[in-house]
Chains A and B, each alone.
Chain A
Amino acid sequence: MTGAREVNLDQCIKCSICTMFCPVAAVNPRFAGPKQCGPDMMRFTLEDPAAVYPGVHYCSNCKNCDLACPSGVRISVINQLAKARSGTAGRPGITGYLPARPDLAGKMASLWPGLVNRVLRWPLGRRLLEKSTGLASRAPLPPYAPLIFRKLLRRVKQNAAGKKVVYFPGCFVEYYRPATGLALVRILKENGYQVVVPGMHCCGLPLFSNGYLNKARRLAAANVQSLAEYALAGMSILTTCPSCYLSLKVEYGELLDVPGSEVVAEKVTDAVAFLANLAANGELAGNFQPVELKIGYHQPCHHKAAGIGIPALRLLKHIPALAVQDLAAGCCGMSGSYGLKRDRYPLAMAVGRELFRAVGETEVQMVVTECGMCGVQINHGTGVMVAHPVEIMAPMGWYGPATQN
């Protein structure tokens, strides 16, 4: 059991501010909200260890509750523990398990990505997929990349004498959008870094968000084992995905209680924050090309939860002619694979309403955001192209124009 129960529970003063800030509770009356499912119900587990509030699976683990709490309660952690107590929400068997394993799905799909993408675009294929896995046929599924990131990285000539940093690409970059990782590698290379990508698994967040706490713990332990030697050697571990960041930085210790995770956590750094820091110290090299665009920045919930502010807004100021506006319109609704599921697709779209509206009202030509699945949802809800901040920084066209879907 994590420290959440002992340290945190009694800090909750029942003010319900978390429920008011919960994007899911605002659109779904069947979800009682983070307070009731989390700290309220946790008290009952002292008598009945299996006590759980119905509907806890509607929690998307977006962590807006943690951000809202004036008393520092780790509400989302308590809710993930409740999900694990109640068992998994998905369908039984491998098909229900797949949405929690983007790495397995990606490994299979990348054997023949062209074919898989065609099946995913084919209406009958999507209906069959909905029947077998519960993924809504209307939901936006990003296409698999023709070649995975790791293979593309091998083609990049790196500076063997450079300072070394580790990069944790995460499933989205690995299987769907290698362009993000390659853009980062390019920027780092120009700054004299050599990027190391050790063998690693999915960060485990899709697993524990779906109630598979023990399975997530196994992946986490393997990742910690693989990354620890680099962390001990003093190397920074960069992430471009806010959810991977949060898992490695916080959840491995706080929720999953993985031994040795603190060694890795200390060196985990958001890649954009890393670059913004270089820039703040006047050390960022790079001949940034003018980008004549009006773009909107969307801060992913997990990025907000990291508490590191918005380094992208500072960093993108280095690009001539670029106009960036912080959309500041809250959760997109997708939450990883949450918004892909049949019964949650309408909820996710309702949650994203304010954000879609902000994209329309500000008339931005493009959206930048750190989270891949936020990008997929924004593109689905607005039709506007979405890219990761590092893709804007690496000269456009270098790896082809940044496109989504």
Chain B
Amino acid sequence: MSAGCQYDVVVIGGGMAGLMAAARAASRGKSVLLLAAGSGTLSLSTGCVDVWGYAGPNKAMAVNPVAEIREMIRYNPDHPYAAAADMLEESLAFFQDLCRQMNCHYLAKDQANQLLPTALGTVRPTYLAPAGQVPRNPADLKKAVVVGFKGLKDFFPAVIATNLKRSGWLPAGCRVEAIQLELFSPGELRAEFLARRLETSEGRVELARHLKTAVTRDTLLLLPAVLGTRWDSTVAAELTAELDCQVVELPGLPPSLPGKRLSDMLFTCIRRAGAEVRPGCTVVGAVAEDRTCRAVVVQAGNDRQEIRARYFILCTGSFLGGGLTAGPDGIRETVFNLPVWTGHTGPVSGANADFFSLSGHPVLRSGIKVNAQLTPVHEGKEIFTNVLAAGAVLAGSDFTREKCGNGLALATGYKAGSLVD
């Protein structure tokens, strides 16, 4: 085993939290190494930044997420947003700046949540959305056309059109049509394949030819998320010019191209900022002395190496990301074996026998407790002084219900990257 290299910061995890932590630390001139075991679950997301969608199962949609988070942490100080609320706006502005520099635009609507349609034609609240998902003048629409491609899975234009009509998202009197095209391939179609086809002018001309008669200036075209593979794709703009109508994408079931574009963009950002990225390796343990972590043990294939750094930022996610594992003996944090808070004592399965309860299952809120410096704590005491945690590994949030996954990861990741000195 070699001594390895020395870094200011080692970030463990390549999802939203890890990428933001690395981006922020690198922007402050720190030497950064990011370790990732998979592509990061950011690629499974819609590519939008949900900051705070609903306060609870029976509560209405949050109007101004930032204000409502401030309100929420007053009566729920255990929520992980409490640790990053002081940098929430700053982190969102930093993210939008990064996007702008990369020629990728994320839109917010006057500090309020915006409602955008899903691939089922229902609507969901989100805070920041890629420009390609946001219609410009929804109030002026006379017609909406949902376009599907035969062979493309999980996208059913007729279902979307019916639900969209019911949702009340479109202005009154706006007609909704569904079109199923047979284009590009006789067999199965995948989003990436379609996206690469539409990146060619022949592909776009072919698509436009089939849609020309169905659209007018007041039409909104709703396509599956296939308008280009890159974060700075111009496919939507070129289709808009070709057809002279608005074109938006509906993010589909995971995985989604908008999520992957965002992930690709952030990886490119941090590389350009000088961070080193090491995919394909797993952090399997740590070397600690007293309350200081000296190194993490990194496994790649059957090779193990210790990597020393001054700070470690844990962004491994929860169960899906691999930061937490659950077994008969309980829930375990996989890198530092930090104590996992589950909100109660006793076995997890006894906490709520109804797994599908609308109020959520406590297991979803389990994770690592941190203080205001994002340092993991146990019974109020710091465990390590130089380990910080961010994102879904943190305890106290049920992000699928609160609709705050990417927002929480962004804010806590940014703060962690700001705190390492």
Contacts and interface: CB of A to CB of B under 8 A. Distances in A.
Contact of B3 (A67, A281, A328): A281
Contacts of B241: none
Interface stretch (B35-43, B51-59, B105-113): B35-43
A235 interface: no
Interface in A297-311: 304-310
A69 B193 contact: no
Interface in A157-190: none
B397 interface: no
Contact of B303 (A21, A32, A249): A249
Of B33, B276, B282, most buried by chain A (CB within 10 Å of CB) is B276
A381 to B, nearest CB: 16
Which 10 A-B residue pairings sit nearest by Cβ, starting from the closest? A307-B300, A307-B280, A309-B278, A307-B281, A70-B38, A68-B39, A26-B192, A29-B185, A20-B255, A17-B255
A313 B276 contact: yes
A326 interface: yes
Contacts of B193: 25-29
B303 A29 contact: no
Contacts of B3: 280-281
Interface in A231-274: 246, 249-250, 253, 262, 265-266
Contacts of B268: 328
B215 to A, nearest CB: 27
Given A19-B190, A70-B40, A250 B301 contact: yes
B321 interface: yes
B189 A29 contact: yes
A70 B316 CA distance: 10
Interface in B171-208: 184-185, 187-193, 196
A26 B190 contact: yes
A20 B33 CA distance: 25
Given A67-B39, A328-B271, A306 B196 contact: no
Interface residues of B, number: 46
A370 interface: no
Interface string B70-92: 00000000000000000000000
Of B37, B41, B185, B268, most buried by chain A (CB within 10 Å of CB) is B37
A249 B276 contact: no
A351 to B, nearest CB: 10
Interface in B295-322: 299-303, 320-322
Given A249-B301, A307-B301, A314-B5, A20 B43 contact: yes
B360 interface: no
A355 to B, nearest CB: 13
Given A29-B189, A66-B280, A20 B41 contact: no
B200 to A, nearest CB: 10
Contact of B280 (A13, A253, A266, A305): A305
A277 B267 CA distance: 25
Interface in A343-375: 350
Contacts of A72: 37-38, 282, 322
A33 B190 CA distance: 10
A27 B188 CA distance: 12
B190 A262 contact: no
Contacts of B29: none
B44 A17 contact: yes
Contacts of A30: 187
Interface in B246-295: 254-255, 257, 260, 267-268, 271, 276-282
